[in-house]
Each structure stands twice: as structure tokens, then as C-alpha cells.
């Protein structure tokens, strides 16, 4: 019984934290992309 409680705690916390962390990362990536959007690099003259 104790092992099942341990297993379920691990499953809920593990999946929950992994899911939330990855979701936070998606938000952070979107934010960074807005702050620093891709711009075509200008070719340096003389190259």
C-alpha cells in the first residue's frame, strides 16, 4: 500500500512538474521570439 502511494505520488508529481515546466518553456520561447525576432543579416560589404 505504501509503495502504491509512493508510486502514485511520483507519477502525479513527475508528470505534473514535467508538463508544467515544458509549458513554461514554450511561453518563454514565444516571449524571446517576440523580443528578438529574426532579421535577415546584412551582408558585410567587401566580403
Partner 1 sequence: MSWSDIFSALVSGFSHLTWQSGFLILLGCVLLYLAIAKGMEPLLLIPIGFGVILGNLPLAGLAASDEGGVLNIIYKAGILTEIFPCLIFVGLGAMIDFGPMLANPSVLIFGAAGQFGIFLTLLLALSLGFARQEAVSIAVIGACDGPTAIYVTSKYAPALLPAVSIAAYSYMSLVPIIQPPIMRALTTKAERQVVMATGEKKISKRVKVLFPVVAGLITMLIAPMGAPLMGMLMLGNLLKESGVVGRLADVSSGALVNIVTLLLGICIGSAMLAGNFLQWQTILVFILGLVAISLDTVAGVLLGKLMRVITKGKVNPLIGAAGTSAFPMSARVVQKEGQKANPRSFLLWHAIGANTGGQIGSVMAASVMLAILAGMGIPPLS
Q: Which residues form the interface with partner 1 (CB under 8 A)? A: 3-4, 6-11, 13-15, 17-19, 21-26, 28-30, 32-33, 36-39
13-31 b/e (C-beta count within 10 Å ≥ 16 → b): eeeeeeeeeeeeeeeeeee
DSSP annotation of 1: -
- Residue 21 or residue 47: which is nearer to partner 1 going by CB? 21
Q: Which is nearer to partner 1, 36 or 42 (CB)?
A: 36
**Residue 1 Cβ, how far from partner 1 at the closest point, in Å?**
11
How many residues belong to the chain?
Answer: 47
Amino acid at each position: 500500500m505504501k509503495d502504491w502511494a509512493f508510486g502514485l505520488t511520483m507519477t502525479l508529481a513527475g508528470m505534473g512538474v514535467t508538463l508544467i515546466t515544458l509549458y513554461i518553456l514554450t511561453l518563454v520561447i514565444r516571449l524571446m521570439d517576440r523580443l528578438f525576432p529574426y532579421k535577415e543579416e546584412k551582408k558585410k560589404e567587401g566580403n
